[in-house]
Homo-oligomer: A and B are copies of this chain.
C-alpha cells in the first residue's frame, strides 16, 4: 500500500534537484526517469517515483520547453465555441492530442482574420509545436508569421488551392454544387438561401447559385445574417424571405441550426413541409435535426476532421524531416435526403 504524501510539503518551487536529493541520484537521472523511463534501471525508477510522490513535485514545462525547444503544446484556433458545429472537431482533436501527451491552447477568432492575426502573434510566443486553424482565410501577415515559425500547420474544415501546410476538410464548393444539382433533380426551381456571413457558408452559397445559374435558375433571394447561427436567425430569415413577392419553394440554409429555426417558423405559420416549403440544412451529426428529425441535410463528420487533423500533426511531430509529403485529406460529406425536401 503506497504511503500518503508528506503533509503539504511546500510551494511548487520544488525542482528536479530537490527530488534528486531525496531519491539519492543526480537531477539528470530524475529527468530521465520521468520522461524516458526506458533509459533508467528499474531500481532508479522506483526510487525516483517514490521521491516524486513524497515531495509532490510537478515538472516545470516552461523550463523543459526552453531547454528542449519543444513545448508539447498545440494551438487551436476556431471562430467561436458557441457554434456546436466545431464542437465535435475540437473534442476529437483534443482527445487525441491529450492522449498523445499534448496540451491545447485555444484561440477564438470570431470569424475575423484580423483577430486571428493578433491571436497568432500572442500564441506563437508560447512556441507551440503545431497549430490547427479553422478555414483557409488568413491575412498575409498571418501567413508570413506561420511560415517563419516553421511549425506544422493544419487548416481544417476546408480544402484550398494554396494551403499553408496541411489540409483536412472538404470542398465547400462541391457541397454547394452537389446540393444544387440534387435539388434541381428533385424538381425544385424557386430557390432561396439563408446564410450567416461566414466565409465558408458564403462559398457554399456561391457555388450553389452558380450551379443553379447554369441550369437557368437565376433569381435566388438570399438572406445573409450576422453570426452566430441560432434558431432565431432561421426564423428571422424565413420571415424576411416570405415578405418578398415570389415566395420560395425551397430554402437552403447554411447550417442545421438555422434550418431548424426555419422549420419552427414554418410550423408556427402553418406551412406544410415539404409541400408548401422545403428545407435543406448543413452540419455535423451532433447538431443534426433531432427536433425535426426529417430535416434533409448535407452531413459532415466533425469528429473525423478533428481526429484526422490530430493525426496529421502527430505524424509530423514524429517525422519532422518529411517536410515535403503534402498532406491533403478530403473528409468528404454526405447528402442526406429526408422528408423536408
Contacts and interface: CB of A to CB of B under 8 A. Distances in A.
Given A105-B104, A290-B235, A125 B58 contact: yes
A87 B82 contact: yes
A144 B63 CA distance: 23
Nearest to A232: B290
Interface in A193-212: none
Given A94-B108, A105-B103, A58 B290 contact: no
A231 B256 CA distance: 14
Contact of A144 (B8, B64, B119): B8
Interface residues of A, number: 60
Q: How many copies does the complex hold?
A: 2
A148 B8 contact: yes
Contact of A127 (B8, B62, B98): B62
B286 A230 contact: yes
A252 to B, nearest CB: 20
Interface string A61-73: 1111110000100
A215 interface: no
A147 to B, nearest CB: 7
A87 B123 CA distance: 21
A149 B8 CA distance: 10
A91 B71 contact: no
Nearest to A104: B106
A125 B57 CA distance: 10
Nearest to A286: B82
A232 to B, nearest CB: 5
A216 interface: no
Interface in A16-70: 56, 58-66
Q: Which 4 A-B pairs have the closest CB atoms?
A: A231-B290, A61-B125, A62-B65, A62-B66
28 contacts: A8-B147, A10-B148, A12-B127, A12-B149, A58-B149, A59-B125, A61-B125, A61-B126, A61-B127, A62-B62, A62-B71, A62-B126, A64-B125, A81-B90, A82-B84, A82-B87, A82-B88, A84-B84, A98-B119, A98-B122, A103-B122, A103-B126, A104-B106, A105-B106, A230-B290, A232-B290, A264-B290, A264-B292
